[in-house]
Structure 1
Amino acid sequence: MFQLLREDINSVFDRDPAARNFFEVLTNYPGLHALLLHRLNHWLWGKNLKWLSRTLSTFSRWLTGIEIHPGATIGRRFFIDHGMGVVIGETAQVGNDVTLYQGVTLGGTSWNKGKRHPTLEDGVIVGAGAKILGPFTVGAGAKIGSNAVVTKEVPPGATVVGIPGKIVKRLEPDAEQALDVDPARREAMCQKFGFDAYGVSQDMPDPMARSMQAMLDHMHAVDERIEHICTTLRKLDASYRDGSLPELRDEDFAEILDEKPTGSSGAGRFRSQDEQHNG
């Protein structure tokens, strides 16, 4: 038991740089207080002392602002930072080394008995205000962004943001590999359109950025295919000439250009490359 207590306290030092010493953590961290009381309440729940465990959990909620049902299963080195407003339902299961921030809800979407709350595997991090609702699994090492609402399974290592929650990063190979996108060609296309000027990359947890990146990947694949078709037509018909591409005017990009650094005109770069192609 003392080993478990030591682990819980050390997990605070590992994940909160504001923690200064053992006594301060033990006396001033409501997340730790709620966890220690829950471990007692969960033991009483297992001994079929349901009313007593529920009463003590209610006292814990009054004391800490954190509501953990005694039936919830929580692993080792669990850390709740700040903690106010955290709610963990009866059939929730939390693995080892999990971190929750304030306002997180591990809730259910059904009034039926049985498993109705989520399972968080080892190393999951859930941002402030996020809601994970339903009897599904959030895979090991996943990250849930602040205020996200998650209602379906999350694969290991994924990052989820938004309402409803969308996966913006995962460990498994994604459509990028399926399209066989050349990173150098993609970067050139981003430069061509001035996309980089907005400081957005494929590693940022932003659904809009991810959508734009997917569009660029698709355009790259289409460009490759059209290029191959034109090459084949030239071999079949020596008189074949590529048609002229429509000209892009700077005024069409006025609002974008006003926000971009000097000399980064996407339209200008695009037109100059087209003129070289047609020349």
Structure 2
Amino acid sequence: MTQTLAARTERRSRWLWRIAGYVFFVGLWQFTSTFLVADFIVPPPAVILAEMWEIVASGQVWVHFGATLRTIAVGFVIAYVLGSVMGLLMGRSKWWEAFLSDWVMATLTTPGLIFALVTAMIFGLGATGPIVAVIVTSFSYIAVNVVEGVKAVPRDLTDMARSFGRPQAYILRHVYLPFLAPYLFTATRYGFSIAWKIATLAEVIVGTAGIGFMMRQKFQQFEMQGFLAWVLLFFAFALFLERVVLQRQMKHVLRWRPEVAR
């Protein structure tokens, strides 16, 4: 009972501080647009909210968010499969690690802008360039986390499973996956956040639809309120996917681990 009450108090405290952070940010924004900068450069929050509502009511948000989500869905699924396979190979074999590690590290440390520009030059306008950019920039985050998870698996468990004649598929399912689950979710969160950024960036450069395309359009027209409205819609949607979808799924799947599920 005491632990439950303490947990509720802690959650309430976190929410209060989170709300306080938003209030402070909006207050600072309002102060800036009122006293420090002209409102056509930094429009006040009420103007941006009205613009966001117009975008949602007109249906543009569904068209362009849908285009960006398709890019992310295709690119990230391919990156996730590719990164997971490479991570398993590198984690279980020093030969594969020597063969792949430098290339994985190179893509991990290279700025995403470079891949966005290269894919734009190769594929030109359209959806192919952003999808390839998402794959190239995201798979390394998956691979690195999977490698760490594979190396964290206790050697005694794998040796015992082999000594009892268990096949590789059984060992992978009942030994590796339970240890890999937290690493896979961490890889999903980091890789997905990178996929969002690079997809939007690639759309800014060569997109013909999507959130980045609309940001570029508003930027070229120097329409600050429209630009900020799309930026905040992007922020709200990404935050919704992170907090409501990914974190809840992680807590549900890893509910057997108290330090993760709480």
TM-score class, shorter-chain normalisation, is under 0.3
- In proportion to residue count, which structure has more strand? 1
Q: Scaled by the length of structure 1, what TM-score is found?
A: 0.21
| Larger relative helix fraction | 2
Bigger Rg, which one: 1
**TM-score for both structures, normalised by structure 2:** 0.22
